[in-house]
Chains A and B, each alone.
Chain A
Amino acid sequence: MTAASRAKAVVVALGNPDRADDGVGPAVVQALRPRPEVEVWEAIRGGLPLAQALVGFERALVVDACPALSVGEVALIPLFPTDGPRTPDHGSWLHGMGLAQALAALGMAGLPVPKTWALAIGVEGLLPFRRGLSPEVARAVPAAVAEVNRWLAN
């Protein structure tokens, strides 16, 4: 699909359903009602590859697990704060280029990057290989779905 034929908005679920609560992103988008004007992806790859795939969309929402939040907490976070993208003040570290950094790089190169938000759902820091969400995170899915729908309505 070319950028010209794409929908204006995309919702990307990041996460590995084989790693327990890391699969919360896919679980959220699977609960969404299909909308022809919105693309919905499931992926496991972030950083520059994801940023490049987002080029051409006007708005993007990345739904992902986040160990920095309390388990089950849901938070909508702009990846492009008004004071500009957050960038590290050091040399790049391994493959750790975050999505915000990658979008900033593409923007600097003149590509039309979307306004991007992250919908973060709190999970434990260490996740086992297992299919299925924990009860605490599963209970957060309806709230996350409602948040996605609010984002789409705005």
Chain B
Amino acid sequence: MKKLVIDPITRLEGHGKILLYLDDQGGLKGAVLQVPELRGFETFCRGRRAEEMPQITERICGVCPEAHHLASARALDAAYGAQVPTTAWIQRELFYNCYIFADHLLHLVFLGGPDLLLPADTPKANRNFLGVLQAYPELGREIVTVRARAQRVLEIIGGRAIHPVFALPGGVARSLTADEGKEIAGHTEAMVGLAKAFVTFFHEEVLPDPGYQSLLASTHAQLPTHYMGLVDGNSAPHFCRGEVRAVSSDGHELFRLDGAGALAKIAERVEPWTYVKFPYLKEPGWTGFEAGPDSGIYRVGPLARLNVAERMATPLAQEEYERFFDFFGEKPVHATFAYHWARLVEMVQAGEAAASLAADKGLTGTEIRGKLGTPGEGVGVVEAARGTLFHRYSLDENGLVQDLDLIVATTHNAAGIGLSVKQMAEDVVRRGSLDEALLNQIEMAFRAYDPCLACATHFLPGEMPLVVEIYDTEGNLDRRIAR
């Protein structure tokens, strides 16, 4: 049996690898994603002061510090029994919608963009974000400019240009001035304008493309899992408040609970070949690496959030949500490459919600911090751009961290990503190709989830070269492909 390893080089223990196991006939026996684990993190955090946690946890991730920052603050809200004032919530939600907008835009254009926006036969040398900018220079310029404006809102509210320092247990650190509120409103209006333009572009240039249509319809990219995500009181997706809702692969509700209740519904599967734990729903339970109604494997992220919702929270997003489900003619949608389109629907909602919050007079209110009660245990749950993020802290009577758990989005999706990679690899292996085509197809399946192999992004040289190594049955290197 041969083992094929796809390994984005990171500095993390265990790396983030895709392992493909081939049998002696060259067929595919299995596929596994190894997600980096932050070994030693829990130990490091025990005994720390609770109010340090929003800063400590956001530093573990160079990709979505905003999500860890707010999940941590929410866990502390719960642990202290704090009532967060309205103005603090407006700040938090506005900040968070700008983060979702900017992160989704980054993925749609720069990270997943080459898959989504460039024809499938684009030469390898142009199949990157520079190729996207060359193909669509005006839109590219507008996207870069407006994304910077969303980033500017994050800086105003978050307190720093690069990572936030504003959320505290029970509220936020400071009030915003009227001038800041006015500047924020201008930026969010531009975000809505770009969201509209991008929707038009998507329907004129992307969706009609036969390459994308074939990806959406591909039998090698349909994965009937269960889904999980946050919803508000109207069952619309909410990125940082509400209840966790799970629906089955055939669309009926499995549960709708607060963060602590939802965590109690999740178990983690330990496999002997990896230190990574695979979350699954206790009911129906673990049945192995397979999707379907009897499996406990679920997915999170943009597609999952649309599947668990009954509607969107804002008008333009609602229109796009209806187009999305009309196109597929079913709900839940199981097409892995629909993650990209779902990301667009969410980006529209995030832009509209940010504009609405920026127009709220409560934004510049001065009551920004609620009283804290006695420290205890608390769960904070938010939707990171790539899926549900749980923080659970247990504090002692002095407010020191006794115990903690973090379940991040890519961990929730680990089993689903492995299955999607296996589906795509099976197609490639069946066609007898194990080189560049393998890399492209597997990367595309992987990228649809927008996975995060945290902590590696800023480390010099700042890129993650892709390496494929094929080993023979005895573990000898058979072939190495690097790019």
Contacts and interface: CB of A to CB of B under 8 A. Distances in A.
A93 to B, nearest CB: 5
Contact of A89 (B65, B106, B128, B464): B128
B451 A98 contact: no
Nearest to A17: B59
A98 B130 CA distance: 13
Contacts of B140: 108-109
Interface residues of A, number: 55
Contacts of B463: 88, 93, 96-98, 101
B133 A96 contact: no
A45 B162 contact: yes
Contact of A45 (B44, B457, B460): B457
Interface in B100-136: 102, 106, 110-111, 113-115, 124-125, 127-130, 133-134
Contacts of B178: none
Contacts of A95: 62-63, 111, 452-453, 457
Interface residues of B, number: 69
A28 interface: no
Given A18-B56, A109-B140, A65 B62 contact: no
B40 interface: yes
Contacts of A17: 59
Contacts of A66: 459-461
A141 to B, nearest CB: 17
B447 A52 contact: no
Interface in A97-111: 97-101, 104-106, 108-111
B459 A65 contact: yes
Interface string B1-45: 000000010011100100000000000000000000010110110
A48 interface: yes
B44 A126 contact: no
Given A87-B128, A88-B463, A106-B144, A126 B11 contact: yes
Interface in B292-318: none
Interface stretch (B145-153, B203-211, B222-230, B350-358): B145-153
Contact of B8 (A96, A104, A129): A96
Contact of A91 (B128, B147, B451): B128
Contacts of B444: 91
A44 B394 CA distance: 26
B358 to A, nearest CB: 18
B288 interface: no
Nearest to B115: A91
Contacts of A32: none
A36 B133 CA distance: 37
B477 interface: no
A65 B127 contact: no
A7 interface: no
Nearest to B13: A126
Contacts of B115: 91
Given A18-B44, A44-B162, A105 B129 contact: yes
B191 to A, nearest CB: 14
Given A108-B133, A128-B40, A68 B460 contact: yes
A90 B483 contact: yes
Contacts of B466: 90, 93
B483 A89 contact: yes
Contact of A94 (B8, B65, B483): B8
B452 A94 contact: yes
Given A43-B163, A95-B63, A97-B463, 10 more contacts: A44-B58, A52-B144, A65-B459, A88-B128, A89-B125, A90-B124, A90-B439, A91-B440, A98-B463, A108-B130
